[in-house]
């Protein structure tokens, strides 16, 4: 068994949702009333996550990203980071967060072995931030970003989802943060769950986002592909990337799988195919059995997500981990 899928892609990256809960209710991530949280008993325990990552490392997984919901609402996260960072073969443990609780936890996470953080930042306007997140304060996120910088969780990537009629007028201002040493990533909104007509009305393709950046800040110079992002040099310094899962899919080079908070292995974010890892863990599966189940997930990874033809409705984005 190895980490090569049916299409010759080497799978080296595992994204793990540690909770489906979140302290925000972002308009592109969940419906206005939120989603029902799963009972704690249905969520993978930290020791189960460690067992999965140990098995995944033997298959060639080298990078682990912790996601949510919002991962920092789950207690004891530095303990999990410490255990994961010690697993032979795991080269990098990183985290995606909304940043609101980061100032409180950044130092402990850095000491535990977290390499760096990605922070969601869709606007620079406090009032608009509240409208997009429904609950959050921009001030808290900036405090978290500063704390992460101070303890060395760098380079910090700032992830922005652009929605028509919401924040497309801030694209240039967000891109300009790259001149302050941040890596800025514009991520196309992905059509999961209950988005429906709202998606078609508010979706902004990456090409349009890039054009808005260049109109205000000058021509971007292509640098490289970095995972799913096409990365460009920004005039005046810094780098800006575009993740275009819908308008220009990067499926042919995808190297990742996901584990949902309730223990399902999802080989592709935008495909409903899932394998039950939690059931195997709680039935007493050996490491060899876990390796075989993970290998099956690699083999069942589809070539492309197909979301341009059909929108998957099985879960909201917050339930999968992004």
| Bridge partners, 4 (sequence order) | 10
Tell me the chain's radius of gyration from C-alpha atoms.
Answer: 19
Q: Are 202 and 189 in contact (CB under 8 A)?
A: yes
Task: Provide the residue-wise pLDDT of the chain in tens; the chain has 322 residues.
Answer: 789 999 999 999 999 999 999 999 999 888 777 778 899 999 999 999 999 999 999 999 999 999 999 999 999 999 999 999 999 999 999 999 999 999 999 999 999 999 999 999 999 999 999 999 999 999 999 999 999 999 999 999 999 999 999 999 999 999 999 999 999 999 999 877 655 567 788 999 999 999 999 999 999 999 999 989 999 999 999 999 999 988 888 888 999 999 999 999 999 987 888 999 999 999 999 999 999 999 999 999 998 865 544 555 566 665 676 6
- Total tally of structural domains belonging to the chain: 1
- Give Dmax over CA atoms of the chain in angstroms: 58
Q: Are 116 and 156 in contact (CB under 8 A)?
A: yes
* Residue 90 is assigned to a structural domain of this protein: yes
Could you list the residue range(s) of the whole structural domain that residue 313 is in? 13-320
Does any domain span residue 3?
Answer: no
What pairing do the DSSP bridges indicate for beta strands 157-161 and 13-17? unpaired
The answer to whether residue 146 sits within a structural domain is yes
Q: Is residue 117 part of a domain?
A: yes
Hey, which bits of the chain come out as E strands? 13-17, 63-67, 92-97, 117-120, 157-161, 183-187, 221-226, 229-233, 239-243, 256-259, 264-266, 275-276
User: Is the residue at 265 inside a domain?
Assistant: yes
pTM for this prediction: 0.93
- How far apart are the C-alpha atoms of 81 and 166, rounded to whole Å? 35
Nearest CA-CA partner of 85 in 97, 75, 94, 76? 94
- Asked if residue 2 belongs to a domain, the reply is no
Task: For residue 4, tell me if it sits in a domain.
Answer: no
Residue 246 belongs to domain with CATH number: 3.20.20.70
Query: Does a structural domain hold residue 262?
Result: yes
């Amino acid at each position: 068994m190895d980490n090569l899928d049916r299409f010759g892609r080497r799978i080296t990256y595992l994204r793990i949702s540690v909770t489906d809960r979140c302290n925000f209710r972002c308009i592109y991530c969940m419906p206005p009333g939120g989603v029902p949280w799963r009972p704690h008993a249905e969520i993978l325990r930290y020791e189960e996550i460690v067992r999965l990552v140990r098995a995944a490392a033997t298959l060639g997984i080298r990078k682990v990203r912790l996601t949510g919901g919002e991962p920092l609402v789950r207690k004891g996260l530095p303990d999990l980071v410490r255990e994961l960072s010690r697993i032979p073969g795991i080269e990098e443990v990183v985290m995606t967060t909304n940043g609101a609780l980061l100032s409180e936890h950044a130092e402990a996470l850095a000491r535990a072995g977290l390499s760096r953080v990605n922070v969601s930042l869709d606007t620079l306007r406090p009032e608009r931030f509240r409208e997009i997140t429904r609950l959050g304060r921009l001030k808290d996120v900036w405090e978290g970003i500063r704390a992460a910088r101070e303890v060395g969780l760098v380079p910090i990537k700032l992830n922005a989802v652009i929605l028509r009629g919401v924040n497309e007028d801030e694209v240039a201002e967000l891109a300009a943060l790259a001149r302050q040493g941040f890596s800025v990533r514009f991520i196309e909104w992905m059509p999961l769950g209950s988005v429906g007509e709202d998606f078609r009305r508010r979706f902004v393709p990456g090409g349009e986002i890039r054009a808005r950046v260049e109109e205000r800040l000058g021509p971007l110079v292509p640098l490289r592909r970095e995972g799913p992002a096409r990365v460009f040099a920004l005039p005046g310094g810094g780098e800006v990337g575009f993740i275009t899962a819908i308008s220009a899919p990067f499926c042919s080079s995808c190297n990742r799988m996901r584990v949902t908070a309730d223990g399902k292995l999802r080989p592709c974010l935008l495909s409903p195919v899932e394998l039950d890892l939690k059931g195997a863990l709680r039935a007493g599966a050996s490491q060899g059995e876990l390796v075989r189940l993970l290998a099956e997930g690699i083999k069942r990874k589809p070539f492309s997500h197909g979301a341009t033809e059909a929108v998957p409705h099985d879960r909201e984005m917050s339930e999968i981990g992004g």
